[in-house]
Structure 1
């Protein structure tokens, strides 16, 4: 095998690894979206920076998983009883290109930290109902 054959084998191997990684990300996204209680969202913890992902409801928390990842572990977890909805707004013109079309930007407080999550209005209705339907902190047991 000459120098050309070695270079070709290395490039073919690298291309195969990239294709496998992309395939794993696509399979992960489809598997996550098939689960009940998931919706597409983008999160912003600092102004002008949006990260695309999928939010998933759990019994007592909301999990955010990055879209471009192969990890099944959530990137951020928000405890239901610590989430407070501050309101929602239409995306600004500079944000529209980075968000899913038809999204609204929901402003939250979680443990004193302000954050924004962009989602479809229907997902916002479900999220606000999920937060309000949770148990009062310190009263009773959630079943």
Structure 2
């Protein structure tokens, strides 16, 4: 095969996208620079049922209500994360500002290829990692966000 044929063949193959190029946005808060996002999952409760007159000796399994787990964001502490801290402080003052959170997986050009949207999101927990004087490392914090469902757009 020539180099041109190899290049054409490589262009037609579907390669999985790397997970390190993504964007996180929260409505009315802004974009968040973070190093890790987890909890982008959808799960349904299971309902089992067996009619008494069925000749099959197993239960039927049907989907029930959708479960909404928590999203976890790990980000480096910086001077520019005031909007996120203000959002967390509003919960402390019993003013829960529910927002739409969007996580987009980006291609090489920075265009979103797949987008997840968490609706009615609010900050549930903010944890700052330990700070040690004899370590040469960045300072991170973890933000846990409650929501009412993640949907793929």
TM-score, normalised with respect to structure 2: 0.28
Which has more radius of gyration? 2
- Point out which structure has higher relative CO (alpha carbons under 8 A, 6+ apart): 2
More helix by share: 1
TM-score, normalised with respect to structure 1: 0.29
